[in-house]
Amino acid sequence: MKIVPLLALTALLAGCATAPPEGPRFDHSLTARAQSDRIKYVILHYTVSDLPRSINALAHGTQVSAHYLLTDTNPPFFYTLVDESRQSNHAGLSSWKIYNQLNAASIGIEIVNPGFKETAQGRVYAPFQQAQVDQLILLLKDIVKRYNIAPGNILGHNDIAPQRKQDPGPAFPWKQLADAGLIPWPEPSRVVARMPGYQEQLPEVIWFQRKLAEIGYAVPQTGELDQATRNVISVFQTKYRPSLFDGTPDAETAAMIDVLTTPLPVIAPATQPESNTQP
């Protein structure tokens, strides 16, 4: 009887063993209906800096970033700093409606703008170049189309963090975004029609708090006009009435909030009566 050498026996057994799989197996024939795009929001910022320092902070720094940086050059253009498939660190501690920590569900756009400067007459905010706004609207329309983003989900950093942020500030032309069909806007004639009632009887603070929460803001629900509530009212006014944003709940602010939270009913087109004539 021959004794099989150990090396030969090992080789023989190895030949009988099943080869390990090269990787996981997939079947791509099924697609779940219950899904949506990860990107649900676009958040707008100003850099409070010039272009070189903005690039240094957003592209070379390790703390903050953005998907896009809109320059103030002539003509302006976008730096693509973070691919849309990846998360950028632009929103920080944030909240809107049911979402918190919006970095994971948003695209961040930084706009080169010095922000503001303090003067003897008070704080003065720097205007945005019209060419910048034109470029921004083009990008926003593209993003909205690709991700089916709701009009109420294009926001400022101050909208999602009203206790600590004020960008893009009262000089940002939100009305131009509304005119482009990108965000909702309180229709002026409806606001004017509702103002007399609110001038006669202003709602209680809890009404403002509930309505602002309905829009999406994180606001206390205490019925008290505390500083946190004033901050949220101020942010709302900064967007929709930048001529006065002192955080005071007044009749015009109430009318604008009311109009935004009670959209007009959609009227179905009239149908033509059926003809009794036979062909």
Q: Which one is catalytic: 110, 118, 187, 224? A: 110
Helix axes 227-240, 251-261, angle to 10 degrees: 70
CB atoms within 10 A of CB 115: 16
CB 116 within 8 A of CB 124: yes
| CA 61 vs CA 166, 175, 192: distances in Å | 22, 33, 48
168 phi and psi angles, rounded to 5 deg = -85, 10
Distance CA 157, CA 19 (A): 55
110 a catalytic residue = yes
194 phi and psi angles, rounded to 5 deg = -90, -15
CB 57 within 8 A of CB 121: no
CB 110 within 8 A of CB 70: yes
Distance CA 205, CA 75 (A): 46
| Residue 197 burial (10 A CB sphere; 0-12, 13-18, 19+) | middle
Token pair of 106, please?
């948003």
Rounded-to-10 torsion of CA 53, 56, 61, 64: 60
CB 191 within 8 A of CB 255: yes
Catalytic residue IDs: 110
